[in-house]
């Protein structure tokens, strides 16, 4: 149990071990630990960010859905409006067309009536001539009495 | 466990009277290498020879054991450090990481300045002291008996029961304390700390005495605490082993002694696990605390 040079040997050995530990043991291990800590922190941050992204995406998709619904509603509404417009238009067109047809028909009828009247008139004048001829017993010169006849026709 | 050796010692010393005393002395003697009385260099074969070698002698057992233990620890840690990955760690890496984190958190707890050397120093101190202390749990007669077969006269297997080892480390710590005291506060600042408090500049001699004792007490208490605890622990193992050494045939007394030895060494060994760890931890913590004090400005 004497104090001897072992003391110095131990002192030097101690210094060497501390130096070795500092240089070749501590730095790599603490480096690995720090790297892992960073990895874990990054992972957690990523997870947090992904969660936020997910929330954002969910919100966004809901918004898009809502917009789509709105748009669809609008489209349906405008479609209905357009349909009623078309129906209205068709109705007015039909009315106009009907009136036109009616007017045309009326005009035709008037013409027919006029034509019939004309025919009737000519026939009446012929009959009247024939009747008058018979009454007078002689042939009436159509040319001589043309103006008389025309007057008669105009009267009828 | 130690009865064989004690038995042998008993047989050897049948002729000589002081059986127990010689057994104890044998166990407390370091294997010292130095200059013998006749001028040649060699291993001392008795305590007197070892003492006569003076300062320039080497306790081979302390030296070899501490070197071996330190090397094993550094090898284990280095092998882990070389392949340290930040991914999932394996078994040994797990252990080393736990050790590093444990030391790191202790250092963070009690060391407030910044110094890259303190944490590795604390790691080295803790595991080196722990492993040296742990040798105390090897049954005390195994290694001396083995060495006797190999022709080696003495072999103390616990380096921390040699004051050379504990003082070697404590002085190393002390030198660091001095170095950082001067580095952080300047030579004048350090001198001022030693002489100008607590009683101001008119109480300079008293201050120097108080602060000087305070300073010198650090390495001495550090070394003697570890040495004292381990030495006393080993002494008790030796005393317990002597009970079985008193074995003198199948009598009630002999069997009782034999049984008591087994029970007591078991009990003391279990208790000693605590001391081994605690002393290593205390040595580490005090080292860190002393260095922290060296880094801090006093007011």
d(C-alpha A73, C-alpha B109), whole Å: 68
Look at B63 and A9 and tell me if their CB atoms are within 8 Å.
Answer: yes
Q: Are B31 and B60 in contact (CB under 8 A)?
A: yes
Furthest-apart CA pair in chain B: how many Å? Answer: 75
Which residue of chain A is at minimal alpha-carbon distance from B97?
A29
How does DSSP assign A129-154, residue by residue?
HHHHHHHHTS---TTTTHHHHHHHHH
pLDDT on residue B178: 93
Q: What is the pLDDT of residues B189-211, one digit of tens each?
A: 888 888 887 787 788 888 899 98
Whether residue B67 lies within 8 A of chain A, CB to CB, comes out as yes
Q: Is residue A106 part of a domain?
A: yes
Q: Do A21 and B77 touch (CB under 8 A)?
A: yes
pLDDT at residue A138, rounded to an integer = 62
Over residues A7-45, the pLDDT tens digits come to 999 999 999 999 999 999 998 888 888 888 999 999 999
Confidence band (pLDDT; 50, 70, 90) for B13? very low
Min Cα distance A57 → chain B (Å) is 32
Q: Give me the active site residues of B, please.
A: 221, 225, 229
**Residue found by looking up tokens 């001539």 in the block:** A129
Domain ranges, residue A75:
39-155
Q: What is the mean pLDDT of chain A?
A: 89
pLDDT at B6: 43
Task: Compute CA B32 distance to the chain's CA centroid, rounded to the nearest angstrom.
Answer: 17
Residue B258 CA to residue B243 CA, distance in Å, equals 7
Cα–Cα distance list, B37 to B46, B51, B52, B58 (Å): 12, 11, 7, 15
Nearest residue of A to residue B120 by CA position?
A22
CB contact under 8 A, B172 and A15: yes
pLDDT at B217 over 90: yes
Say if A10 falls within a structural domain: no
- The answer to whether B108 contacts chain A (CB < 8 Å) is no
* pLDDT tens per residue across span B115-165: 889 999 999 999 999 999 999 998 888 888 888 888 888 888 999 999 999
- Predicted local confidence at residue B176, as pLDDT: 94
User: Do residues B118 and B126 make contact, with C-beta atoms less than 8 angstroms apart?
Assistant: no
Contact present, B100 and B280 (Cβ < 8 Å): no
CA–CA separation, B78 vs B46, rounded Å? 40
Number of structural domains, chain A?
A: 1
pLDDT band of B256, cuts 50, 70, 90:
confident
Check residues A137 and A99 and name the one with the higher pLDDT.
A99
Per-residue model confidence (pLDDT) at position A8: 93
- Stated pTM of the model: 0.74
Whether B279 and B125 have beta carbons less than 8 Å apart is answered as no
| Residue B197 pLDDT | 77
B59 is written with which tokens?
């306790």
Q: How confident is the model at residue B232 (pLDDT cuts 50, 70, 90)?
A: very high
The answer to whether B77 contacts A4, with C-beta atoms less than 8 Å apart, is no
A1 vs B: CB within 8 A: yes
pLDDT band for position B23 (50/70/90)? confident
- Percentage of chain B lying above the pLDDT 70 cut: 91
pLDDT for res B73:
94
Residue with tokens 């082993």: B241
User: Residue B31 — left, alpha, or beta (φ > 0 → left; ψ -120 to 50 → alpha)?
Assistant: beta
Q: How far apart are the C-alpha atoms of B34 and B55, rounded to whole Å?
A: 9
Q: Any idea how long chain A is?
A: 156
The answer to whether residue A86 is domain-embedded is yes
Query: Looking at the complex, does the CB of residue B120 fall below 8 Å from at least one CB of chain A?
Result: yes
Cβ neighbours of A1 in B, within 8 Å? 28, 30, 162-163
CA distance A46 to chain B (A): 17
User: What per-residue confidence (pLDDT) applies to B18?
Assistant: 54
Within 10 Å of residue B148's Cβ, how many Cβ atoms? 18
Instruction: Give backbone dihedrals phi and psi of B163, rounded to 5 degrees, phi first.
Output: -60, -25
The model's confidence at residue B12, banded by pLDDT at 50, 70 and 90, is very low
Average pLDDT of the residues in B93-122: 91
Q: Would you tell me which residues 58-117 of chain A have a C-beta closer than 8 angstroms to some C-beta of chain B?
A: none
**Which pLDDT belongs to residue B4?**
44
Domain ranges (residues) in chain B:
61-141+158-295
Question: Is residue A26 situated within a structural domain?
Answer: no
CA atoms within 13 A on the CB side of A96: 6
Residues of B in contact with A7 (CB under 8 A): 164, 167-168, 171
Output B6 or B207, whichever has higher pLDDT.
B207
pLDDT band at A132 (very low <50, low <70, confident <90, very high): confident
Q: Is position A87 within any domain?
A: yes
Q: Is the pLDDT of residue B299 over 50?
A: no
CA dihedral B108, B112, B113, B115 (to 10 degrees): -20
């Amino acid at each position: 149990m004497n104090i001897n040079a072992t003391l110095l040997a131990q002192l030097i050995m101690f210094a060497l071990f501390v130096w070795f530990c500092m240089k070749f043991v501590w730095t790599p291990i603490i480096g690995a630990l720090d790297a892992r800590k960073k990895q874990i922190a990054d992972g957690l941050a990523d997870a947090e960010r992904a969660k936020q992204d997910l929330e954002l995406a969910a919100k966004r998709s809901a918004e898009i859905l809502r917009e789509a619904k709105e748009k669809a509603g609008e489209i349906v509404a405008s479609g209905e409006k357009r349909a009623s417009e078309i129906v209205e238009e068709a109705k007015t067109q039909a009315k106009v067309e009907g009136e036109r047809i009616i007017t045309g028909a009326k005009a035709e009828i008037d013409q027919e009536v006029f034509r019939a009247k004309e025919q009737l008139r000519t026939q009446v004048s012929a009959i009247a001539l024939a009747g008058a001829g018979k009454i007078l017993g002689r042939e009436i010169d159509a040319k001589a009495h043309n103006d008389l006849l025309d007057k008669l026709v105009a009267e009828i | 466990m130690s009865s064989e050796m004690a038995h042998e010692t008993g047989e050897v010393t049948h002729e000589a009277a002081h059986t127990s005393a010689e057994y104890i002395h044998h166990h407390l003697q370091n294997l010292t290498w130095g200059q013998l009385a006749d001028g040649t260099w060699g291993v001392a074969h008795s305590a007197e020879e070892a003492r006569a070698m003076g300062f320039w002698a080497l306790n081979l057992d302390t030296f070899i054991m501490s070197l071996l233990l330190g090397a094993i620890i550094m090898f284990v840690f280095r092998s882990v450090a070389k392949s340290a990955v930040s991914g999932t760690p394996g078994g040994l890496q797990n252990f080393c990481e736990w050790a590093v984190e444990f030391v790191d958190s202790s250092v963070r707890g009690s060391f407030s300045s910044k110094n890259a050397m303190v944490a590795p120093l604390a790691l080295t101190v803790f595991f080196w002291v722990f492993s040296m202390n742990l040798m105390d749990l090897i049954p005390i007669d195994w290694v001396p008996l083995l060495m006797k077969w190999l022709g080696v006269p003495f072999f103390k297997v616990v380096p921390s029961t040699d004051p050379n080892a504990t003082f070697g480390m404590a002085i190393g710590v002390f030198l660091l304390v001095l170095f950082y005291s001067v580095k952080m506060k300047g030579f004048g600042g350090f001198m001022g700390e030693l002489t100008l408090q607590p009683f101001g500049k008119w109480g300079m001699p008293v201050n120097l005495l108080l602060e000087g004792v305070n300073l010198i007490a650090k390495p001495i208490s550090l070394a003697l605490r570890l040495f004292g605890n381990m030495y006393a622990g080993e002494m008790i193992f030796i005393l317990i082993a002597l009970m079985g050494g008193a074995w003198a045939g199948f009598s009630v007394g002999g069997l009782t002694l034999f049984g008591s030895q087994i029970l007591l060494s078991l009990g003391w060994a279990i208790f000693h696990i605590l001391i081994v760890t605690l002393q290593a931890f205390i040595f580490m913590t005090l080292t860190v605390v002393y260095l922290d004090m060296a880094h801090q400005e006093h007011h």
